């Protein structure tokens, strides 16, 4: 019986992962068809938009400091975001040498859409109570640890660090989008986390 249930569990995990992947791909295809937008921002671009949503207006230099990027990388990132219409850069009224950066409505819309995508995925877990969620997390952590031990050549530790970093950036962009929609510029909150 034990092997039978293990097989069923693996099948369920595989099915769930495929469902999540299909959902993300479906959302991307819909946006690519022009239903929503034509550009798919990278995680770094989403992080930048999330950072900008926290500041009504910020200097390019200060933005680079917050992002932890070089002057050149900051300028390149902002040029791409400006090209897509997600940000505007204007010369400071106080100091003509300073470029001020501001998130546009299109940039806020991008954050909002990605927040909706994330909510659709996390809402799959709404069928579990708090204790069940904690137990599931613990079980999955133990399974991942066992996989690391069985396959040390795959360098799971490095992959896990990269994945946690990407997830933290995604979470930050999601939270920034939610906060941006709470501002008094007419944007409505489309998602409020359950208590």
Alpha carbon distance, N-terminus to C-terminus of the chain = 39
What are the pLDDT digits (tens) for 161-179? 666 666 676 667 666 666 6
**Nearest to residue 103, comparing CAs of 188, 189, 170, 183?**
183
Q: Tell me the whole-structure pTM to 2 decimals.
A: 0.50
134 Cβ neighbours under 8 A, 6+ residues apart? none
Q: Which residue ranges of the chain lie beneath pLDDT 50?
A: 35-37, 183-195
Give the pLDDT of residue 109.
Answer: 87
**Burial tier of 161 (Cβ tally within 10 Å: 0-12, 13-18, 19+):** exposed
Give the pLDDT of residue 22.
Answer: 77
Domains of the chain are: 37-181 (1.10.10.10)
86 Cβ neighbours under 8 A, 6+ residues apart? 41, 45, 49, 103, 104, 106, 107, 110
Q: What is residue 187's DSSP assignment?
A: P
On whether the CB atoms of residues 172 and 50 are closer than 8 A, the answer is yes
On whether the CB atoms of residues 25 and 69 are closer than 8 A, the answer is no
Number of helices (H) and strands (E) in the chain: give both, helices first.
7, 3
One-letter-per-residue 3-state SS of 113-164? HHHHHHHHHHHHHHHCCHHHHHHHHHHHHHHHHHHHHHCHHHCHHHHHHHHH
d(CA 44, CA 5): 41
Angle (nearest 5°) at CA 20 between 13 and 109: 155
């Amino acid at each position: 019986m034990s092997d039978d249930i293990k097989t069923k569990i693996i099948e369920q995990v595989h099915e769930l992962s495929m469902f999540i992947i299909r959902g993300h791909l479906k959302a991307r295809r819909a946006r690519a068809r022009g239903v929503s937008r034509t550009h798919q921002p990278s995680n770094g671009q989403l992080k930048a938009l999330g950072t900008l949503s926290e500041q009504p207006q910020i200097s390019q230099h200060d933005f680079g400091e917050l992002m932890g990027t070089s002057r050149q990388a900051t300028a390149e990132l902002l040029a791409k975001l400006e090209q897509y219409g997600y940000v505007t850069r204007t010369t400071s009224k106080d100091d003509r040498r300073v470029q001020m950066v501001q998130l546009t409505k299109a940039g806020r819309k991008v954050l909002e859409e990605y927040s909706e995508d994330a909510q659709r995925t996390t809402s799959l877990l709404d069928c579990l109570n708090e204790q069940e969620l904690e137990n599931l997390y613990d079980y999955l952590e133990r399974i991942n640890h066992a996989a690391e031990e069985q396959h040390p050549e795959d360098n799971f530790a490095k992959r896990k660090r990269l994945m946690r970093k990407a997830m933290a950036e995604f979470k930050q962009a999601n939270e920034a989008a939610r906060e941006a929609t709470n501002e008094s510029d007419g944007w409505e909150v489309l998602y409020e986390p359950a208590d």
